[in-house]
Every structure is written in C-alpha cells, then in structure tokens.
Structure 1
C-alpha cells in the first residue's frame, strides 16, 4: 500500500474536498483524484460519495481512515527512530490562530521551533477565536492558538501567555488618568467582531459595570486587529485591545496606551488541540514545546 496515497487520502477526508486537499498539499486536483482512484482500484472498494460539494466517506473509507492515520504515524515514528539528528525531521504543521497570536506570538514561536527543526513547514490560518476552535474540532488544522476557551470534551487547552486589555487612543488625544470606563463612553469607538476573545472579555467588563454595549459610540466593527489599530492611529476612534498588540505600537509612539481603572480581568492565550486527532510527530513536538516557544 502506497503511504503517499494514504497521506493524500487523509487530506481529502479532513477537508471533505478534493480541491481543498490539493491546495493544502500543493498538488493538482487531478493528481489528488488519481491517487484516490488508485487506492480504490487496489482495495476494490469505493472510499468517497459526492454529497453536494462535499466528498463524504463511505463505511469502507471510514475504516481505512483510522488505519491510514496509524500507518502514517508509524512511518513518522520509524523515521524519527532512524534519524541521527532530530533536525532532519520534516513535515507540515497547520495552525489556526486568532488575530493577536497570529501577528504577535506565532512568528516568534515558528522561528524558535525551526531553530531546532529547520525542515518543518507551517501553514497559518488567521480567524476569529470561535472559528479557530471549530477548525481544531473538525480536524482541518493540527492546533489552534486563541484567547478564549470554547468548552468541548474533545478540546484540550494549554495556557501559553497571560495578558489584559488596555485602552488605545490616537496620539492627538489627551485623556486624564486614571481612566474609568465611563470616561470613554462619549468618544467614537472601534470594536472587534463578536467572535473575538477581546470582544468577549470587554463585554463581560461592561456588564460587570452595568453598562450596555450600545452606550458605547461604536462607529465600526472590524474583523482583524491590524485594521483596527490603523483606525486608531488615523484618529478615527479609540478602542480597547490586547496589551500584547498595543505595547509595540505604543513603544514606537504610533498611539497612546492607557490602563482602565478597575479593568483587572486577565486572560490567557491558549494552544488547543483535538484529543481525538492523531497528530504527526512534528505536531506532537510543537504541542509539547509550545510553552517554551512563546
């Protein structure tokens, strides 16, 4: 049985799509189809049914998927055992991350990991915290890094970094300290989208202070943190964001950063993985060492 065909097969299973699998592993869609047809011909069974735009496993496909994961993991373990230098390990680690980790944590983590394993490649997908958790659950990524927990029995969280939220304003604006949450209600406010961990923490703080969200003068909801920071820098409005992302911009005098009196709630950024997903050797190593990479 061709292990490369099995590898291609697992990617089609995870993406439920021949075209998405092809994009993920840098093959043409026709090559992916050829590998699957070869497997089906050799085994004498049908592995997928087409349902709408998705490719759904047949019962035979489901059984093969379990064996394929075990065989591919065994191959990785054999290579690891035979390699004299761990640095020769190769493979792809797929990570989904919310905006702050993807911009301010993952570059450093990837750099430090590749100092030891330079042949490992990374595929990074930036999304909201909620979407990150969903991608980890459906197996389309190996791990996620996010700032909010979504409870599920299949998900295991490892705390990486503790931080809090801060107020950021344009350089042109002067706000008297100490800053109280009610002091900012009359300023134009730029808000993260509802699926972000930042938004969830801010809404919790507003509720604790008996402030309805519509009391903020919200002028825009924004998907990614970089765009939000540009809104603040360009004097469009103020915002409350992650201290991790605000610190560098404040240090370079691109905006002003303030602590909000009483806003002492802290949060963690977590690495999350699916305990039911069979991880490759390189993904396992990344999970085990993540805390030392931050």
Structure 2
C-alpha cells in the first residue's frame, strides 16, 4: 500500500494524524467538514495534507472551488491509511485490555425487525460496564450485515434468516426462533378469524420487503413450498412503511410475530392473525471468527455467549 510504503521509506514522512486528516477529507469530500470532524482548524489540516503530498511526491486530492475528489494515488493511499489506522486503534485497545480496561470502537449491525434482544437495553448494560467504548450502529439487510462482519466492517450483527439458512463465514449463535403472523387492516375480511392458511391468503395483494433480501425470502419460500403464487404489489425496506400501507388498505403482509405483536397491540388500524403453515425465522448473533477485538469480546460476555470459537 502507498501509505505503508511511504512510512518504510521515511519514518518521519507519514504520521497517524496525517492519515486521519486524509481519510476525513476523502469521506466528507470537503476540507471544512473534515477539519470539524478532526477538531482542528481548516488551515492546519490543509497545511498538513499539502506537506504530506510534497513528501510523497503525488497529489492525493483533485481540488476546485466547489469539489474535492481523490486522485488514483489518493485512493490507494486512503486504502492503506485505513488499514494502518485500524491497526493502531486495535493496538491501543489491546494494550488497554491487558490492564483490564476495554476501550476502542464497537461496530454493531442490526436488522430493523430485531426482537430477540432489546438492543437499547443491551447497550445500556454494555456502557455501564465499558464506558470507554464508542458504539457505531448500522441497520441493514441480514445478508449485507453478515458480509460486513466477514469483511471486518462490523464487529457483531443481529440477523434474521429463514429457518433453513444460517449465516456463512462467521461465528454465530441462535438467539430465538419465531413464526410470522398475518398483518391485515382492521376492517379486512380475515381480521378476527382464529387462524388462516397460506392458501386462504394467496389471492390477496401483499406488501413485503424488497425482493432478494433474507426478510423477503422467508415469505417467498413458504409460498413456494406450498405451491402457491402471490401478488406483491408494494415493496419497502422499513417496517413502519409496510404497516402504514397495510393500514391504508393497500395490502396485507407476513411479519415476524415477536417484532410486530408489541407494536400492533395499541394500533386499532391493524389486526394480527396466526398462520398455520406460515414462514418461520431464526434470529442470530454473528461475529467475526478472526481475532475478535476486546470490545467485541466484552459484548459477547454481556450477551452471555462466552469466549468465541477459533474454529471454522
């Protein structure tokens, strides 16, 4: 990497602060916002980056009065700089952990329908024990979050998968099993019935998650297994939007019961109906199988998972 090579050529050439400045500009595409992020005046940040460019003999950024973009050399430098900064942060966290203090950053991925764990309550307990750890939360699809854990972009993630699948390439533990319920408008013909089958719903218009996602696959697989085809007229990535569409009478949906029941209890516009042959889902906790950080190990302890395995 350009950043590592530069340090090898001249120990005084690149320091961690310069790397942080360059990464901040690359991410914000703005010198002023980068300076604010780094808690430094813009003139100082600009001066340090200009000095670094002179030392390296390359331009890291293409600048104009309105735009800031990475050059090819800058993109190569940022990739190496991120690796160096992550290694430095990990070294500091490991040193602190050796004295019994957990520090650093914990990146947590959460699906929008997490129900097995009360995430805010969990973070409250975690902070009470480890106040020096900074937590970054990221929501998304289960497959995207699992990939981010594999790539090292997330430390842990709370996932929901169809019952015949499990996260691949990561350590994981089952948190809960759940089944879907049918969510319909309060005035719908199926509202109030004791239970339904998928066949009884197949002619209805559906609202569901985006096609190709694990959240959508849970329902798609159940209908396919029953030999049924349904009409999904509306796709959304946010549960709140799905339930609002249902309340407007635009369709019905199958949603995880543990997630939707508490939210539908006080909503007179929605009715929940058990589904005899409906989808099932498993909620997982996933984390990297490669050398978890002290902050990750501490979270696993809070969750009662114990020491992570080093096997495949």
**Class of the TM-score when normalised by the shorter of the 2 chains:** 0.7 to 0.9
Structure 2 counterpart SS, 1:258: strand
For CA contacts below 8 A with separation 6 or more, give which structure has more relative contact order: 1
Give the number of equivalent residue pairs: 275
1:223 corresponds to 2:237: yes
1:78 counterpart residue number: 95
Q: Which residue of 1 aligns with 2:248?
A: 234
Unaligned ranges ≥5, structure 1: none
1:145-294 aligned at under 5 Å gives the runs: 145-148=158-161, 152-153=168-169, 155-175=170-190, 176-212=193-229, 215-216=230-231, 218-254=232-268, 255-263=270-278, 265-276=279-290, 279-291=292-304
In structure 1, C-alpha distance between the alignment counterparts of 2:83 and 2:212, rounded to whole Å: 33
Secondary structure, counterpart of 1:252 in structure 2: coil
* Contact 1:92 1:121 (8 Å CA) reproduced: yes
Consecutive aligned runs of 4 or more in structure 1 exceeding 6 Å deviation? 28-36, 38-41, 44-52, 64-67
Inter-partner Cα distance in structure 1 for 2:296 and 2:178: 26
Secondary structure at 1:235 match in 2? coil
* Structure 2 spans left out of the alignment, 5+ residues: 1-11, 63-68, 306-312
| CA–CA distance in structure 1, aligned partners of residues 58 and 179 of structure 2 | 48
Displacement after TM superposition at 1:289 (Å): 3.1
Match of 2:17 in 1: 5
| Distance in 1 (alpha carbons) for counterparts of 2:106 and 2:44 | 20
- Match for residue 136 of structure 1? 149
For the 8 Å contact 1:8–1:32, the answer to whether it is kept is: no
1:145·1:270 contact (CA, 8 Å) conserved in 2? yes
Q: What whole-Å deviation, never above 9, does each CA across 1:83-139 have from its counterpart, x for those lacking one?
A: 5xx5xx443322222211299742232223223223433222222223223333333
**Aligned partner of residue 77 in structure 1, secondary structure:** helix
Per the alignment, do residues 147 and 53 of structure 1 end up closer, same or farther by CA in structure 2, a change over 3 Å counting?
Answer: farther
Distance 1:162 1:171, change over 3 A: same
**Judging changes above 3 Å, is the alpha-carbon distance between structure 1 residues 6 and 284 closer, same or farther for their aligned structure 2 residues?**
farther
Give the alignment partner of residue 99 of structure 1, picking from 112, 120, 135.
Answer: 112
RMSD of the TM alignment (CA)? 4.2
